[in-house]
A and B are shown apart, each in its own frame.
Chain A
C-alpha cells in the first residue's frame, strides 16, 4: 500500500478552507450505571481553518479530549452531519486520519521500545514511505526537542518531560497537516512546559506548510500564549460560549500588555460562562 506522505504538497486544503469540519455532532456516552446516557455534545458545530492555531479552552470533564478523539476517528459520534478532516468524513474514510497526529495528555509510549523504537512504531503504523527517509526525519525532530542523545533509552530511563518530548516526536516526525494536542504539557513542571511551548510555537510559526493545530487546555495563560484563535467551551453538554481571535506575533509573554489584557478578559468570561452549570 502506498500512502502519499502526509504533509506533502499534493495535499490541497478542501474548498471550504477548513481542515476540520464538525457539523451537528451529537455524542452521548452510556452512563456507567447503565441508566441513560451522558450527553457530551448536542448538535455541536465547529469549523477549523487551515493554518490556524486553535485552542480549545474549557473546564475539565467538558469533552475536550472527546472532541479530539472524534476528529482522529478514535470515537464515533452518536450522530453527526459531518466529521470531516481535509474534506473527507473520518467515519467513511478513516484513512484520512493519517494526516492527523495526536499528542495525548500522557506520553503513551511502549515501555518495551526505546524512544527511537517508539517513533518508528508510529512511522511503521502509518506506512510512511520511503523508509530511507525515516532516519532523516527522526534526526530532525529528535534534535528539535533536544533528545538526540537519548534515542536509545527506554522510557523508564528518562524523565516524564523527556517521555512527552518523545511522544511529540512520534506525532510530528511524519510532518502531518493536522496536529491534535491534548493538554500535552499539563503533566510537566512549569519550566519544561514553558520550554516546550516555546519550541512548539517557533516550529509552527516558521513552518511554510501552514499546519493546522488544535490544542486543548484548561490553562488560560497557555491559551493566550499559543492560540491564534481561542474557543471557550461550557460544561457538558459542551457549547461554544466565547471566541477570541488573538492577532499578536509569537513568541508571546505575559509581560506583553496586549496579551495580558486578553488574558484578563478571558478570565472574566471564563468565570462567568464556563463555570459549573446550575
Chain B
C-alpha cells in the first residue's frame, strides 16, 4: 500500500513539529496558570506574598531579556554544558560500542555504569568539587561521569538489537567494510545517536546548573544562587525561565535535526 500523502504544503516533519508545538504551547499556558494560582494560594494562606507569580515575574524577565544581561551567564552555562556533553557523549559512545562488540568490556564496565547511573548527582558534584576544585575541568569531568552511563547503556542496547540477518544479507552481497559502515551501521545508529544526544544534553545542562548553584562561579546557576542570597525571587525566577527556554530551544533544534536526517522513519 502506498503512503497517503497529506494535502498540506508543509513537509511532514514540520507538520508533526507544529502539531506537537500546539500541544506544547497549551501545556505551557496551563503550567503558567497553575504557577499563578499556586502563588496566589501561598499568598492567601501564608499571609505574605513570598512566592511571586508569573504576572509579577514577567516585567523582570522581559527587562532581563531586553537588557541582554542574561547573555553572559547563558553563554557560560551553555559552554560548560557543551564541554560536559562532549565528554559524556564521546566517552559514552566509546564504552557503549565497545561493550556491545567485546564481551569483556561489557563485563568490565557494566557494573560501573550501573553504579554511576544510580549515583546521587549532588554527592558526585560535591566529591568532584572537593577533589578537583572549582573550574571547567571539574564541570566536564562530573557531567561526563554522570551522563556517560546513560549514553553508553543506551548505545550498547541499540547495537545489540542490530539484526544479524542484515549482516548475513550484506555478507551475501559481499559488501566491503567501508560500504557497510556508510550504508548500514551509520544510518542504523544515527537516530539513536541523536536521541541519546538529546537526553545527554539536557542532563548535562541540569548538572552544570546544579554545579553552578552549588559553587561554580558564573553561569545561570550562579545568578540563581546570588538572587537567592539577596532574596530577589523575581530575579531568580527570571533566570530560571531563561534556563528552561534555552533548554527547550536546544532540544527542539536536535528534534528538527532528527526529523531531517531520519526522513525514512515512520
Shortest CB-to-CB span from B176 to chain A, Å, is 7
Q: Chain B contacts of A11 at CB under 8 A?
A: none
B151-205: which residues lie under 8 A (CB-CB) from chain A?
A: 165-166, 168-176, 179, 183-184, 187-188
Q: Is the CB of B176 within 8 A of A113?
A: no
B165:A122 contact, CB within 8 angstroms: no
Is there contact, CB below 8 Å, between B168 and A74?
yes
Q: Which of B169, B171, B184, B262 has the most CB of A within 10 A?
A: B169
Residue from B2, B166, B174, B264 within 8 A of A125 (CB atoms): B174
Q: Which residues of B contact A111 (CB under 8 A)?
A: 264
B66 to chain A, nearest CB (A): 45
The answer to the question of A187 belonging to the interface, with a C-beta cut-off of 8 Å to chain B, is: no
Please report the number of residue pairs spanning A and B whose Cβ atoms sit closer than 8 angstroms: 64
Given A95-B174, A110-B183, A112-B188, CB of A153 within 8 Å of CB of B169: no
The reply to whether A125 and B266 form a contact with Cβ atoms under 8 Å apart is no
- Asked whether, in the complex, the Cβ of A125 is within 8 Å of the Cβ of B1, the reply is no
Q: How far is the CA of A104 from the CA of B163 in the complex (A)?
A: 14
The answer to whether the Cβ of B10 comes within 8 Å of any Cβ in the partner chain is no
Q: How many residues of A contact B (CB 8 A)?
A: 32
Q: Give Cα distance in the complex from A97 to B172, angstroms.
A: 8
Answer yes or no: A157 CB below 8 A from chain B CBs.
Answer: yes
* Contact B171–A108 (Cβ < 8 Å): no
Interface positions, chain B 207-266, Cβ under 8 Å from A, are 262, 264-266
Asked whether any CB of chain A lies closer than 8 Å to the CB of B3, the reply is yes
State the CA gap A156–B265 with chains docked (Å): 8
Q: Could you list 11 examples of A-B contacts with CB < 8 Å?
A: A74-B171, A95-B174, A100-B172, A104-B168, A104-B169, A108-B168, A108-B169, A110-B187, A113-B187, A122-B173, A156-B266
Interface residues in chain B, defined as those with a beta carbon under 8 Å from any beta carbon in chain A: 1-3, 165-166, 168-176, 179, 183-184, 187-188, 262, 264-266
| Partner-B contacts on A (CB < 8 A) | 69, 72-74, 94-95, 97-98, 100-102, 104, 106, 108, 110-113, 121-122, 124-127, 150, 153-154, 156-159, 170
